Amino acid sequence: MQTTRPHIPRILLAFDFDRTLASDSIDAVCAVYGIDRDDWRSEYEEALGENWDQIIRRGQALIALGENRDRPLSKDVMREAAERIELFPGVLEMPGRLRAAAAEVAEGVELEFVVLSSGYDEIISRTAISDAFDRILASGFESDSDDRLFAVKRIVSHPEKALYLEALGKGAELSGSNGPERAGDPVGPDDMHCPFDQMIYLGDGASDLQAFGFLHEQGGLTIAVGVGEEGFAPGRLTDAQRVDAAPGPDYREGAPLMRALEHAVRACAHRIALRAIEAA
C-alpha cells in the first residue's frame, strides 16, 4: 500500500443557492404572480395537507398557484422569476478570486464550483450563476410541448445533499433518474474525483445540516452563510453539524465571507501542495 495520500490537484466547492448565493427564488415566483409569500404558503402550500415531501409540496403549490391565477406555471414564468433574483454582492467575481488564492499556494490546482440546491433548475440556470459555475444540481419540473410545468420531476431533498456530496467526491454518475444512487459504491483513494478533505460546502440553514455533518466527518470544510449564532433551532445541531465559519452573505473582496472562503481554499491547496512533495 502506498505510504502517502494521493495527490489530486482539485478543490470542489459546493453551494446551496437560495439565501446562500442569492435572494430567495420562491419569493421571486410569488412576486411574478403578485402574491405575498406568506399568503401563498397558507393558501396553497399548507392547503395541500400533511405528509408531503417538502420539496414536492412546494412545487405542487406553485403549480396550483399558476392554475388559480389563469397563468400556468411555465418556463416563461420561471424566466421572469430569475430576472427578479438578486445575486449577493461579489458572487460572480468570487470564483476568479478563489482560483487566484489557490494559485498563490500551489500551481495547477483546479477549482470546481457546483450549485447543490433543493431549489429549481428552471430558475437557477437562468441566472448569471450558470456562467460562473461549472455545474448545477437542483430540483426540476417536467414540461409539456407548450413549456408549461405540470409536475415535479426531480428533487434534491435536504438529506440527499450529503449523498450528492459523496457522489461528487467519488465522481459517481449523477445524471440518472435516481441521482446519487451510486454514492455508496466504494472508491479507492487514488480514484477519487476530489478527496473529501479538499471539498468545501456553503449553505444557509437547517436544510444544510446533513451536508455540513457529512463533510465535517470526512475532513472537509463547511461555511454557513448569514445564519449567525441564532441561525439554527436549539437542540437540532449536532457537534458534527457545527460549521467552521458563519459570516454574512457578502462575497466582495475583504468581506468576512470572502476571507473565510480564501482561508478554506488555501487550506485545501496547502494539503494538495503537501501531497505533491516526493518521498526522499
CATH number of the domain that residue 186 is part of: 3.40.50.1000
264-279: buried (b, 16+ CB within 10 Å) or exposed (e) per residue?
A: bbbbbbebbbebeeee
Question: If DSSP codes are grouped into helix, strand and coil, which group holds residue 154?
Answer: strand
In-domain check, residue 34: no
Q: What's the sign of the alpha-carbon dihedral 154, 157, 159, 163?
A: positive
Residue (of 243, 179, 155) closest to 206 by Cα position? 243
Beta carbons of 183 and 170 less than 8 angstroms apart: yes
Beta carbons of 132 and 22 less than 8 angstroms apart: no
In-domain check, residue 112: yes
Beta carbons of 208 and 237 less than 8 angstroms apart: no
In-domain check, residue 35: no
In-domain check, residue 59: no
The CB density around residue 146, as the number of other CB atoms within 10 Å, is: 10
Q: 256 Cβ partners below 8 Å, 6+ apart?
A: 245, 247, 248, 250
Counting Cβ atoms within 10 Å, is residue 84 exposed (0-12), middle (13-18) or buried (19+)? middle
Give me the residues of the chain with pLDDT under 50, please: 233-234, 280
Which residue segment(s) compose the domain that 212 sits in? 10-24+86-276
- Rounded to whole angstroms, how far apart are CA atoms 234 and 229? 11
In-domain check, residue 50: no
In-domain check, residue 68: no
In-domain check, residue 17: yes
- Rounded to whole angstroms, how far apart are CA atoms 7 and 89? 34
* pLDDT at residue number 23: 96
What's the pTM value of the predicted model, to 2 decimals?
Answer: 0.93
Q: 202 Cβ partners below 8 Å, 6+ apart?
A: 13, 14, 15, 16, 20, 222, 223, 224, 225, 261
Query: How many structural domains is the chain composed of?
Result: 1
Q: 91 Cβ partners below 8 Å, 6+ apart?
A: 21, 22, 129, 132, 251
In-domain check, residue 158: yes
